[in-house]
Amino acid sequence: MKKIFLILLYSFSFFGLHANRNDLTIIFEKGNKAYEKEAYTQAIFLYESILQKGYENAALHYNLGNAYFRSNNYGKAILNYERSLRLNPSDKTAQMNLQIVNAKTTDKMEEIPPFLVNKWWLSFIKAFSLNTWALISLGSLLIFCLVLGYFLLSQNYTKKRMAFYTSLCIAFLFIFSIVCSGKAYSIRFADNQAIVMDAFVQAKSSPAENGTDKFVLHEGSKIIIEENLNNWAKIKLPDGNIGWIPESSFEII
């Protein structure tokens, strides 16, 4: 019984019932003040302290990215812009800032453009945040139930037929929004994308120090991790090159 109560409390924590949220906002605003005064190291410290408390939001990652950019730490800046976009994929300012930092990094990655349909699909998913998608799913479920009830209880034949088709449409909308939420969820929590943090790292042909050097990656490059083995990660570049780099040299978005 106590367990169920705890689970309930935990589940409702998503609706902002925690008392320390105001404290977080105060720290956040302190960080903004420090940023205004160009005390970027202090701003970074304050923003990071919020993350250490276990809370985040898109604006926090965005501001942290800005502070890192101003202290010329481009790897961390890219990481935080990417994280900000994970939380709020349609944020135009974060997208633009990310583009500007990417232009400053050494490695120019030629990403293979995805199929047009796929691109549309992804940009459609990214038009809403994951929370919005979840709310759309629940909302459509609720409307579906209402329309279904009307269909079941109505005695007028025409109204019954209308309600039937409407409920079909809404059922479709519900399934579609669940699929979109699932996709958005997999994008949001994809743990195979990482940003190189070291100034440069040599990718080896095998997960060992004495492996042959295959290519050199520089700070801020986005990589895809395929496999992990003994503190080494097998990475794939957008152009298809594969190599092993130590796990300490990058951070997962």
For β-strands 250-252 and 213-218, DSSP reports them as unpaired
According to CB under 8 A, which residues from 27 to 56 bind other proteins? 28-29, 32, 35, 50-51, 54-56
Indicate the SS3 state at residue 45. Answer: helix
Compare residues 92 and 115 and give the one whose CB is closer to other proteins.
92
Indicate the SS3 state at residue 168. Answer: helix
Judged by CB under 8 A, the residue of 42, 49, 57, 71 near other proteins is 57
Task: Give 116-119's long-range contacts (Cβ < 8 A, gap of 24+).
Answer: none
| 141-149, 164-172, 193-201, 220-228 -> range binding other proteins (CB under 8 A) | 141-149
Q: Residue 242's beta-bridge partner residues? A: 236
Count residues near other proteins (CB under 8 A): 57
Phi, psi of 3 (to 5 degrees): -60, -45
According to CB under 8 A, which residues from 88 to 107 bind other proteins? 93, 96-97, 100-101, 103
| 23-31, 119-127, 204-212, 229-237 -> range binding other proteins (CB under 8 A) | 23-31
Using CB under 8 A as the binding rule, whether residue 195 contacts other proteins is answered as: no
Give the nearest distance from C-beta 209 to other proteins in angstroms: 32
Question: Tokens 């040599």 appear where?
Answer: 202
The structure tokens listed for 35 are 């940023």
Q: What are the b/e assignments for 70-80, b being 16+ CB within 10 Å?
A: eeebbbbbbbb
Pair 210, 230: CB distance under 8 Å: no
Give the nearest distance from C-beta 197 to other proteins in angstroms: 19
Give the nearest distance from C-beta 1 to other proteins in angstroms: 16
Using CB under 8 A as the binding rule, whether residue 230 contacts other proteins is answered as: no
Judged by CB under 8 A, the residue of 74, 128, 133, 232 near other proteins is 133
Indicate the SS3 state at residue 227. Answer: strand
Give the nearest distance from C-beta 112 to other proteins in angstroms: 26
Question: Tokens 């349609």 appear where?
Answer: 90
Handedness of CA 28, 59, 237, 234 (dihedral sign): positive
Q: Which amino acid is at 41?
A: T
d(CA 87, CA 57): 7
Give the nearest distance from C-beta 181 to other proteins in angstroms: 5
Site of interaction with other proteins (CB under 8 A): 7-8, 10-16, 18, 21, 24-25, 28-29, 32, 35, 50-51, 54-60, 62-63, 66-67, 69, 93, 96-97, 100-101, 103, 130-131, 133-135, 137-138, 141-142, 145-146, 148-149, 152-153, 181, 184-185, 188-189
